[in-house]
Amino acid sequence: MKKVLLSAYACLPNHGSEEGTGWTYATTLSMNDLEVHCLTKKDGQVAIDQILGNGFFPNLIVHYVMLPDWVDKFCNFNIIGMYFHYLYWQWSAMKLARQLDQAHHFDLVHHVTYGSIQLGSFMYKLRKPFIFGPVGGGQRAPKNLKRYFGQYWSREWLRDVVSLILQYVNPGFYKSVATADRLVVTNLDTYELAKKLRPNLAIDRIWDAGLSRAFLPVHPTEHYPDTTLKLLWTGRLLPRKALELTIQALGKVDPSISIMLTIVGGKGEMAEQVPQYIEHYGVQNRVNWVGHVSYQAVKKFYEQSDVFFFTSLRDSCPHQLLEAMAYSLPVVTLNLHGQAELVDETRGLRVQVVDEAQVVSDLARAIEWMYAHPTERMAMGQAGYEFAQTQVWETKIRTFIDEIYPAVLSKTETYSISSQTRVKHNN
């Protein structure tokens, strides 16, 4: 049985986003004739140990990278503190990985979270067959829409500046990109960034969003036309998610059209601003803000809606889009970053980003189009459902198991045999 060392800073069961991604990779790989040793933060130790202690995932061994208390205090301080915490963790994880390798002799090393190309990974230092990704990070929020960040634009600007600096001073970035046996990126923005360092080498592209089979409906969801068009927006109320842009566009929709926007989400820096948005744009009778709901409860809202709305200004590869398409919802979104790749013309409408007035107007016209074309929007929902079937986590991870891992190991074994042969001839 091959032994894989998995670097997953973020790894928590029953979570979404990066935490869920790390856990999904660790568990799925371990169920496919691989002995997986996962390096992660100590945050999820109680939940993970309980699951492993109950006998689940016998081929998964989790190693918690412990950091000094003073380092942990930096984690939620600000974006620089978070980056410092991550890089310190990476360095500590690398030292622990060297100790573990002496005992277990890993066949390959795979970095999965954080999925940031600039933050990189120090796992290249093990000098083992190394897979880096999928990673994103090449995307930037459009400056001409910076007002939607409010007071947090300075933080977004700082993120971009620090990310640029890290490309030059963080060896975890340029060494991982330059030396990885397989570099896997998740969107075109990151591909272009990686290509600057690896202009002559192949770079794999695999979207880092996926669905569990348990979440995916067995049959397409029927969304029968009604007199009211039901829009859905879900997510954390973060500045970059630009909920205000959605509400602003709603205010520009023809008043004669019966429409209702449901907002699912109650956590995030912009939560206290939501009532002000609703009042300012005069859409009190067109918005239903339900607040935070559980991951399972959100399914009900997918089932009861007609169109999914997504106006994030910076996203690597949004999970919500796949979830919406799994429930046969057409999507209205911006022609930016990962959403521009997941949503094509058969699955929804993408609005170009030129300036604020144009974006708001085009989003409003997209809503009106969805209202006036029920047959076409249901066809888009069907196409989305069929696409979602191809984006199941097990299928994505099998690409690593069946294609990428064997190719990397075969390359290493060939090199090893060649080296031994040269030594014999020299002797």
pLDDT surpasses 90 at 407:
yes
Give the whole-number percent of the chain exceeding pLDDT 70.
96
47-68 pLDDT, tens digit each = 999 999 998 999 999 999 999 9
d(CA 287, CA 260): 6
216-264 pLDDT, tens digit each = 898 999 998 889 999 999 999 999 999 999 999 999 999 999 999 999 9
345 residue type, one letter: E
Question: How many other C-beta atoms are found inside a 10 Å radius of the C-beta of residue 290?
Answer: 14
Residue owning tokens 């669905």: 211
SS3 string, 24-51, reads HHHHHHHCCCEEEEEEECHHHHHHHHHH
The predicted structure's pLDDT at residue 414: 55
Which CATH superfamily is 229-389 part of? Glycogen Phosphorylase B; (3.40.50.2000)
The predicted structure's pLDDT at residue 417: 43
d(CA 425, CA 400): 36
The predicted structure's pLDDT at residue 162: 86
Q: What is the pTM of this model?
A: 0.88
353-395 pLDDT, tens digit each = 999 999 999 999 999 999 999 999 999 999 999 999 999 999 9
pLDDT band at 141 (very low <50, low <70, confident <90, very high): very high
149-179 pLDDT, tens digit each = 999 999 999 888 988 888 888 888 889 998 9
The predicted structure's pLDDT at residue 419: 40
β-strand partners of 310: 333
Q: Is 214 or 6 the better-scoring residue by pLDDT?
A: 6
Q: Could you tell me the two tokens for 330? A: 């057409």
Q: Where along the chain do its domains lie?
A: 2-210+393-426, 229-389
The predicted structure's pLDDT at residue 413: 62
Q: Is 201 or 91 the better-scoring residue by pLDDT?
A: 91
pLDDT surpasses 50 at 266:
yes
Burial 52-62 (b: 16+ CB within 10 A, else e): eeeeebebbbb
Instruction: Check if the beta carbon of residue 360 is closer than 8 Å to that of residue 245.
Output: yes
Q: Could you tell me the two tokens for 199? A: 């202009």
Which residues, other chains included, contact 333 with Cβ-Cβ below 8 Å and sequence gap of 6+? 309, 310, 311, 321, 339, 340, 343, 348, 349, 350, 351
Which CATH superfamily is 2-210+393-426 part of? Glycogen Phosphorylase B; (3.40.50.2000)
2-210+393-426 with 229-389: one CATH topology? yes
Instruction: Check if the beta carbon of residue 165 is closer than 8 Å to that of residue 188.
Output: no
